[in-house]
Structure 1
Amino acid sequence: MKIQIDIDPKYEECNVTIHAKEWTKDIEELVQSLQKKQPKRIVSVQEDRSILLNPVEIDFVFARERKVYASVNGKCMELKMKLYEVEDMLSAAGFIRFSKSVVGNVNQIDRFELSFNGNLCVYFKSGSKEYVSRKYVHDLKAQIVEGGESHDR
């Protein structure tokens, strides 16, 4: 793939043109990633208060007892969303499915270890840990190799 970038003040807005011999899965993924907007905030609920969370600070989101929670620095914050909605909303921010009940932030991973049963134990920068089921290990490794999206500022 060849990439050309032309930065000039004469342009009013950003335009992207793709030249290709045929439509491919890579082009489809590129178009989807360009069209996705990264969420700036996600709302959590504690008692009668709404708290704004920055997706960059979330380690992982999990479902337990028909409720969805975000883990931020070891604290659990309830979200009023379904897990698949959170996954869809945060995929542009580097979140990927870890298991049937967990979506994790690839950009917050510090290290991971292979478990005896084929699962991965993922350790986050905050000290939290979560497991990736065998079904999703390949996707996570691919995301890590591709680098995910770095949101370090």
Structure 2
Amino acid sequence: MKFEVSIDPSYKEPKIIILTDKMTDEISDMMKSLSETYMDSLAVFSDRGVEIVECKDIIRIYSEKKKVFLQTAAGIFVVRSRVYELEEKLDSQFFVRISNSEIVNIKMILNMDISMTGTIGVLLKGNIKTYASRRYVSKIKKLFGI
């Protein structure tokens, strides 16, 4: 595979062109990775209206009573997206899904209790305690090399 970079002041944003004789898995993977853009902030709703929260400040995202909430050190906010939609948009290097209804920020994990059979107790910053469901235990253990 050959790469070529051309500097042209008339282009205000980068443009990528792939020239090939046929579509391959390698090219499909490359296109997918180039098109993946992760959010660095989210619009959330509070009693003060719409606020912008940076993703690095998110402790966890969870659903409860048919609503999706986002928790930071500053408080709990309502989000108008589904948990699975947020999982797709958030950077998987920093966020992990621990149950059908919850995503946590890996950087906010203080402790994981693996002594219980089948589940993992997760302690997050702010003394927030939650649990990983059985379905996600193997994924979490693999992520952390447990």
Kindly state the Cα deviation for residue 115 of structure 1 after the two structures are TM-superposed.
Answer: 4.6
Distance verdict in 2 for CA 1:65–1:115, change over 3 Å = farther
CA 1:49–1:140 in 2, change beyond 3 Å: closer, same or farther? same
Q: Distance in 2 between the 1:32 and 1:109 partners? A: 29
3-state SS of the aligned residue for 2:113? strand
2:58 is the counterpart of 1:55: no
Matches of 1:74 and 1:129 in 2, distance apart? 17
Structure 1: stretches of 5+ with no match in the other structure? 1-9, 16-21, 146-153
Q: In 2 relative to 1, CA 53–141 (structure 1 residues): closer, same or farther, beyond 3 Å?
A: same
Larger Rg over CA atoms = 2
Name the structure 1 match of 2:120: 120
Counterparts of 1:124 and 1:140, CA distance in 2: 15
> Identity over the aligned pairs, expressed in percent?
21
- How many equivalent pairs are there? 129
Would the alpha carbon gap of residues 114 and 89 (structure 1) be closer, same or farther in structure 2, given more than 3 Å must change? same
User: Counterparts of 1:89 and 1:56 in 2: how far apart (Å)?
Assistant: 14
1:140 is matched with 140
More strand as a share of residues: 2
8 Å CA contact 2:41–2:53 kept in 1: the answer is yes
Distance 1:101 1:115, change over 3 A: farther
Structure 2 counterparts to residues 17-28 of structure 1, below 5 A: 28=29
Q: Normalising by the residue count of structure 2, what TM-score does the alignment of the two structures yield?
A: 0.72
Q: Map residues 4-153 of structure 1 onto 2, 5 A cutoff.
A: 12=7, 28=29, 32-47=32-47, 49-73=49-73, 75-92=75-92, 94-145=94-145
Segments ≥4 residues shifted beyond 3 Å: 10-13, 30-35
CA RMSD of aligned residues (A): 2.9
Tell me, which stretches of 5 or more residues in structure 2 are unaligned? 8-13, 17-23
